[in-house]
Amino acid sequence: MGNSSRSYGASPAIMSEWSDVLSGIPQGSILGPVLFIIYINDFESCREDAKIYLFADDARLDNHIKCIVDAEILQSKKDKFTNWAHKWLVKLSTKKCKSMSFHQRQYDTMNNSFTCKIDGVPLEQVESYKDLGVLFDPFLLFDQHISNIVSKAYSMLKLMQRNFRELSRKCSVVLYKTTFGIC
């Protein structure tokens, strides 16, 4: 079989032609997550001075930056990560990569900023970023995140009021609790 894979159509009786698979992990398979963990196991070698957080196929590199030397250390870790990715034929989507600083309100971003790069491509500096459903801002206040959640809840409540006017109070309470996950 070599580097080949067989995929199925709508039913197991309808199979596609054999085709070469150069890299990757079968999506939807039971072994997929285990193979991915084995595949990235040596990724820890990039971890010396910066913190690396992995979730599924996402990675986040963090470092506390107090001076330009700390920024250079973080960039060197990004370079190490990029070299690891090239070595193992992992394609990085630099368009999806972002850079964000967390700091106190009095922090001078104009004089204390540096450009992060991956593969020589400068990363977009963002003022807010959504990670695992949480919207982060530079001051870690979560005002915008909370505002978005409240806005979505009010929209859903208005939708329920408009479309379920004839429900009894008991059914309305069940619908409300089911929609908003309240016990």
In tens digits, the chain (183 residues) has pLDDT values of 444 454 545 555 666 666 666 666 666 777 777 777 777 777 666 666 667 777 777 778 888 888 888 888 888 888 888 888 888 887 888 888 888 888 777 665 555 567 888 888 888 888 898 988 899 988 889 999 999 999 988 888 888 888 888 888 898 888 888 887 775
CA dist 152 and 101 (Å) reads: 27
Q: Taking the alpha carbons of 99, 52, 46, 93 in that order, is the dihedral positive or negative?
A: negative
Whole-structure pTM value: 0.62
The amino acid at residue 92 is L
- Give the chain's length: 183
β-sheet bridge partners, residue 23: none
Q: Is 140 left (phi over 0), alpha (psi -120 to 50) or beta?
A: left
